[in-house]
Every structure is written in structure tokens, then in C-alpha cells.
Amino acid sequence: DQQVKQNSPSLSVQEGRISILNCDYTNSMFDYFLWYKKYPAEGPTFLISISSIKDKNEDGRFTVFLNKSAKHLSLHIVPSQPGDSAVYFCAASANAGGTSYGKLTFGQGTILTVHP
């Protein structure tokens, strides 16, 4: 049973427009959510995160929104740039102390392509 789902395998947007990537989760114990970006032949790199006590977190062009009641989060990229083309993974963790920080449950990933 997949506890974190990214239902869109791919997304294509024009440079300068907004990219919206979505993620749903089922486990109520998740209290911290992260987005990772992955280029081919590289490991995932941390992009932005949000705690369950917040509903929005912003970092430059990237904003993550959390709707706890719907168990849904989204990543907005504005404006999108060709260099943003990558696979984006949503991940979640449940608070079990410091040893749990890297115990992440990942979604399947969304391939974002930004066209010039």
C-alpha cells in the first residue's frame, strides 16, 4: 500500500509559467514533508520542506502548500526555468526522534519538463 502518491508521472510547462506538482499521503502519522529534485545519474537533492504545523513554506521560486485535512501537498515553481527540468519526489516522515530523520517514505516521482 503506497502511503505517498504522486499521481502525475509527468508534467510539461513553458518557461516562465507556473509548475504545480502534487502529492497525496495516507498515513496520519506523517508530520514532516519534503520535496527532492533528481537529475539523471545523480542522487536526490533536497529542495524544500514543510512541517505539519504550517500550511505554506516559501523559498525563492519554490513554495510548498500543505492541506492536512485533505492529506495533500503541492509544490509550486514560479517562474519555471529550463534548468528545473528533473524528476521531483515528494517524501514524508513520521516523528520518532532524531533517528527517524532519514527514514523517508517517497512518492513515485513526477518528471517535470520546462520548455524554452
Partner 1 sequence: NAGVTQTPKFQVLKTGQSMTLQCAQDMNHNSMYWYRQDPGMGLRLIYYSASEGTTDKGEVPNGYNVSRLNKREFSLRLESAAPSQTSVYFCASSERRTSVYFGAGTRLSVL
4 counts as binding partner 1 under rule CB under 8 A: yes
Cell of 35: 520535496
Binders of partner 1 in range 19-58 (CB under 8 A) = 32, 34, 36, 41-46, 49
Q: State the nearest-atom distance from the C-beta of 88 to partner 1, in Å.
A: 11
Q: Which of 64, 66, 73, 104 binds partner 1 (CB under 8 A)?
A: 104
Instruction: Choose between 70 and 103: whose C-beta lies nearer to partner 1.
Output: 103
Which residues are near partner 1 by CB under 8 A? 4, 6, 9, 32, 34, 36, 41-46, 49, 89, 91, 93, 98-99, 101-109
